[in-house]
Amino acid sequence: MYWEREFETLERNKLRSLQLERLKRTVKQAIQSPFYKELYQRKGISADRLRHVEAIRELPFTTKQDLREHFPYGFLSLPKRDIIRLHSSSGTTGNPTVIFHNRHDISSWANLMARSLYCAGVRDTDVFQNICGYGLFTGGLGFQYGIERLGCLSIPAGAGNSLRQIKLMQDYGTTAIHAIPSYLGRLYEVFQAEGLDPRKDTDLRLFVIGAEPHTEEQRQRIEDMFGVKAYNSFGLSEMNGPGVAFECTEQAGLHIWEDAFLIEIIDPETLEPVPDGEFGELVMTTLDREAMPLIRYRTRDITRIIPGVCACGRTHARLDRITGRSDDMFIVKGCNVFPMQIEGVLLKVPEVGSDYLITLERINGVDEMIVEVEVKKDWFNGDIARLDRLSKFITHQIRDEVLTKPIVRLVEPGSIPKSAGKAVRVLDKRVFDSVKL
């Protein structure tokens, strides 16, 4: 049931003691970097002042902008000769955010991934197909090392090429898959086009989904299409990548591994902590990284700590699914809107297909939210009145959810452009030619 019982079921007071010990070590290590050395010396900060875990609130936040402004080596706490890996964002709009690892960090990451997969029900008897990009993106290699540490037969399939993915599943008897949620809808369409039923024509039993925000409705739709259980995962490259938090088989929130990460939930406006159970911005501190520790990193992800104890027996806190980001919210006609709100509405409509696109445009001097929605291929029979009724229904549902009326356009399946990586859900054309969220 447990990969590391001694850590996963640690009593809360002992877990806090371990966190304090590792926090002090982390601060001492971080001060070896140019960024933290200058900042902490200027503010008179040292590890000695940390008498309890809550004292971390006295330390300044770290932001993505800090990482970009001190690119590439400003956060490095070890000599370059000790570093064996880096991962980074694309950096298409400026300096990328880059994270460095030494051998200890890679080993720790692999172990957290193995622990995460095990708690979701993956075992060494599984054939695990990783449908994720390998390279600077953390999803491919992060999962690869965890799969191997756990002992599965791994298929490093990479992203895309759905026909090949299906052939790999059938040739080798794939039982478990990791993929981004938006891709699985497209994969299912290929199964159908080939006259195949994944429930009958594969040995699939378990999915791990993550890397992009998604709703509970989307998860349930994936489970219904493939006849498997789909477990949510959460990670971000600044905290390693995948393996930060994972659902167990109870599917009652994502266990965040508190022996490796110290978490806070803050009000993104006041920057003050919020009580357990209330939504706010997730702030994270690494506790077991040597090459590049990060302290009080503002993730911008909006979530909450789920109160209570999980039935699985693990004592680590559980995060709710990410409901949005404090920096991807957009405002239309005075209303604050998160893309996840729109998705939550669309995926409750059975006639809606796998993809949608939100475009923000200024039309005749007024901001408008245009929602293009793919409808299922087998639903439309040429009845224009039927389409009009569906369009009006979706319009009313979105308006009730976000308090502003969208322009809904129903489009044919496959007509919305697909991206090779994370799905592009929002195009903001009001100020820039194209801002992707």
Each residue's pLDDT tens digit, 173-210: 999 999 988 889 889 999 999 999 999 999 999 999 98
Residue 436 belongs to some domain of the structure = no
What one-character-per-residue DSSP string does 136-196 give? SSHHHHHHHHHHHHHTPEEE---S--HHHHHHHHHHHT--EEEE-HHHHHHHHHHHHHTT-
74 and 12 fall within a common domain: yes
Q: Extract the tokens encoding 221.
A: 């739709």
Of 326, 359, 374, which residue is a domain's last?
A: 326
**Residue 389: which domain range?**
330-428
- Tell whether 403 and 260 lie within a shared domain: no
Residues found in the chain: 437
> Which pLDDT value is given to residue 52?
95
pTM for the model stands at: 0.84
* Same structural domain, 281 and 345: no
Domain end residue (candidates: 294, 326, 358): 326
Q: Residue holding tokens 């029979």?
A: 381
Q: Is residue 435 part of a domain?
A: no
Same domain, 98 and 155: yes
Q: Which contacts qualify for 335-342: CB closer than 8 Å, 24 or more apart?
A: 335/402, 335/403, 335/404, 337/369, 337/402, 337/404, 338/302, 339/213, 339/425, 339/426, 339/437, 340/213, 340/214, 340/215, 341/401, 341/402, 342/371, 342/398, 342/401, 342/402, 342/406
The domain boundary residue, chosen from 298, 326, 354: 326
Would you write out the chain's pLDDT as a tens digit for each of its 437 residues?
A: 899 999 999 999 999 999 999 999 999 999 999 999 999 999 999 998 899 999 999 999 999 999 999 999 999 999 999 999 999 975 444 688 999 999 999 999 999 999 999 999 999 999 999 999 899 989 999 999 999 999 999 999 998 899 999 999 999 999 999 998 888 988 999 999 999 999 999 999 999 998 877 788 889 999 999 999 999 999 999 999 999 999 999 999 999 999 999 999 999 999 999 999 999 999 999 999 999 999 999 999 999 999 999 999 999 999 998 887 777 778 888 787 888 889 989 989 999 987 999 999 988 877 899 999 999 988 877 788 999 999 999 999 999 988 889 999 999 888 898 776 677 889 988 754 333 44
The rounded Cα 177 to chain-centroid distance in angstroms is 16
Report the CATH number at residue 113: 3.40.50.12780
Supply the pLDDT for residue 433: 38
Looking at the structure, tell me whether residues 313 and 337 fall in a common domain. no
* 180 touches 211 (CB < 8 A): yes
Task: Give tens-digit pLDDT for 59-91.
Answer: 999 999 999 999 999 999 999 999 999 999 754
Asked, for residue 363, whether it belongs to a domain, the answer is yes
Whether residue 408 lies inside any domain: the answer is yes
Residue 66 sits in the same domain as residue 14: yes
Q: What is the number of structural domains in the chain?
A: 2
Same domain, residue pair 321 and 334:
no
Look at residue 433 and tell me if it is in a domain: no
**Residue 188 forms part of a structural domain:** yes
In a domain, 437, yes or no: no
Q: Are residues 128 and 204 in the same domain?
A: yes
Say what the pLDDT of residue 182 is.
81
Domain membership flag for residue 92: yes
Q: How far apart are the C-alpha atoms of 323 and 246, rounded to whole Å? A: 16
Residue 393's CATH number: 3.30.300.30
